[in-house]
């Protein structure tokens, strides 16, 4: 951030505001405090029988690697609605019976909330951000070509939990 989003001034400094305990970016002109908080990422692990649906990324970062449909939550939707929307946008698929499964908060920039979801049918197709969309059994998962750590985590937990048919919420 190079200028104040409130007043346009470039007089931004780092300091601990009065009554605060952390250093923040503060505008010296209008005194706005620019907090930097994680954004919410919402996504889905779509399931069909013994398979999961993955998308091959068409965009950076990690273009060409496999991921779950996920993205930033919009301000006019719930996390669950966001997960359904992302699954539609990136995988052309409809999901139902969403159930919160994994919360990843260890990244500094975002908190990811991943739902398990049942595919409504076998209709799916790559959206504009995907090169390909495919169903994979556990054995078919391209582990070497997984895009992000949270995707690897969700898949690892899922195939472990499926053996017991119990899917507790994981918080990392
Ligand atoms: Zn300002």
Q: Which residues of 41-70 are buried (b: 16+ CB within 10 A; e: fewer)?
A: bbbbbbbbeebbbbbbbeeeeeeebbbbbb
Instruction: Give the tens place of pLDDT for each residue, 44-74.
Output: 999 999 999 999 999 999 999 999 999 999 9
How far is the centre of ligand 1, averaged over its atoms, from the C-alpha of 149 (Å)?
A: 37
pLDDT, averaged across the chain: 96
How far is the centre of ligand 1, averaged over its atoms, from the C-alpha of 76 (Å)?
A: 27
| pLDDT for the residue 2 | 84
Please count the structural domains in the chain: 2
- Answer yes or no: do 75 and 103 share one domain: yes
Q: Tell me if residue 31 falls in helix, strand or coil.
A: coil
- Answer yes or no: do 1 and 59 share one domain: no
Question: Which CATH number characterizes residue 12's domain?
Answer: 2.20.70.10
How far is the centre of ligand 1, averaged over its atoms, from the C-alpha of 37 (Å)?
A: 19
How far is the centre of ligand 1, averaged over its atoms, from the C-alpha of 25 (Å)?
A: 10
**Is pLDDT above 90 for 106?**
no
CB 167 within 8 A of CB 99: yes
- Answer yes or no: do 44 and 32 share one domain: no
**Is pLDDT above 70 for 1?**
no
Q: Where are the beta strands (DSSP E) in 29-154?
A: 33-34, 39-48, 51-57, 66-67, 70-72, 95-104, 110-119, 130-136
How far is the centre of ligand 1, averaged over its atoms, from the C-alpha of 9 (Å)?
A: 5
Cα–Cα distance between 134 and 5 in angstroms, integer? 42
How far is the centre of ligand 1, averaged over its atoms, from the C-alpha of 34 (Å)?
A: 9
| Residues of the domain holding 30 | 1-36
- Answer yes or no: do 59 and 82 share one domain: yes
| pLDDT for the residue 108 | 78
Question: Which CATH number characterizes residue 158's domain?
Answer: 3.90.79.10
How far is the centre of ligand 1, averaged over its atoms, from the C-alpha of 77 (Å)?
A: 30
- Answer yes or no: do 128 and 108 share one domain: yes
Instruction: Give the tens place of pLDDT for each residue, 3-36.
Output: 999 999 999 999 999 999 999 999 999 999 999 9
- Answer yes or no: do 132 and 53 share one domain: yes
Angle at 142 between CA 92 and CA 161, to 5 degrees: 80
């Amino acid at each position: 951030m190079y200028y104040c989003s409130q007043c346009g001034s470039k007089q931004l400094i780092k300091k601990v505001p009065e009554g605060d305990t952390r250093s923040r970016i503060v505008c010296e002109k209008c005194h706005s405090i620019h907090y930097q908080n994680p954004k919410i990422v919402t996504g889905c692990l779509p399931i069909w029988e013994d398979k999961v649906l993955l998308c091959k990324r068409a965009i950076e970062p990690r273009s060409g690697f496999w991921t779950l449909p996920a993205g930033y939550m919009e301000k006019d939707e719930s996390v669950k609605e966001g997960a359904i929307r992302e699954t539609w946008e990136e995988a052309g698929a409809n999901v139902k019976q969403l159930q919160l499964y994994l919360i990843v908060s260890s990244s500094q920039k975002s908190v990811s909330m991943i739902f398990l979801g049942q595919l409504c049918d076998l209709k799916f197709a790559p959206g504009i951000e995907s090169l390909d969309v495919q169903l994979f059994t556990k054995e078919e998962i391209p582990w070497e070509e997984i895009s992000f750590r949270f995707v690897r985590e969700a898949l690892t937990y899922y195939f472990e939990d499926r053996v017991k048919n119990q899917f507790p919420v994981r918080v990392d």
